Amino acid sequence: MLEEKKQIITRLRDAKKAHRRWVSNAQILMQGVPVKNDQIPLNETECGFGRWYYGEGQALRKYALYKAIEQPHTALHNTYLQIFNLLFRERKVSLFGRLLGKKAEPSQAELEEAKRLFVLLNAESLKITSLLDELEELIMGMDEKDFRLLFH
């Protein structure tokens, strides 16, 4: 059982790392560094963490801690979508500008709003990682009987 518990904890930690990587990629994007589309999926079920949460993590769905993760995770992706739309939506460029190969950039107000939203995104991320830490502690503290009921 100890080995199984270690595997479950390792997968949970991998999901947490995937979440942190995703937030790091979003932060890089905020700084204007282009990232590949597959590095920042917009849908909460497509990110590395979401694949765990909506996949094998479902074994933990009877726990309030697990259920509490869904709302901030969805909010995080919704906030990211707002940021993405502010920074990368199509903007009209004058004919002269297009001839010169110019692209319309976000306005100062859009950049400020994106920064404000990124603060919210980080707050949601902190909620998620805190809940994951508590979930890990819960699993580590399970006795053999509760663990077997949960995962077998």
Alpha-helical regions (H) of 31-107: 48-53, 64-88, 95-99
Q: How far apart are CA 59 and CA 134, in angstroms?
A: 16
Q: Is the pLDDT of residue 55 over 50?
A: yes
* Residue 37, pLDDT score: 65
Q: What are the residue boundaries of the structural domains of the chain, listed by start?
A: 2-151
- Write out the H or E segment, with its range, that includes residue 46: none
Q: Is the pLDDT of residue 97 over 50?
A: no
Amino acid, single-letter form, for residue 108: Q
Q: Is the pLDDT of residue 2 over 50?
A: yes
What lies within 8 Å, CB to CB, of 39 at 6+ separation is 22, 25
Q: How far are the Cα atoms of 22, 90, 114 from residue 117, in angstroms, in the given order?
A: 16, 20, 5
Q: Which of these, 147, 138, 142, 125, lies nearest to 16 by C-alpha position?
A: 125
Average pLDDT, the chain: 84
Q: How far apart are CA 48 and CA 51, in angstroms?
A: 5
**First-residue to last-residue Cα distance in the chain:** 11
> How much of the chain exceeds pLDDT 70, in percent?
82
Cβ neighbours of 97 (radius 10 Å): 12
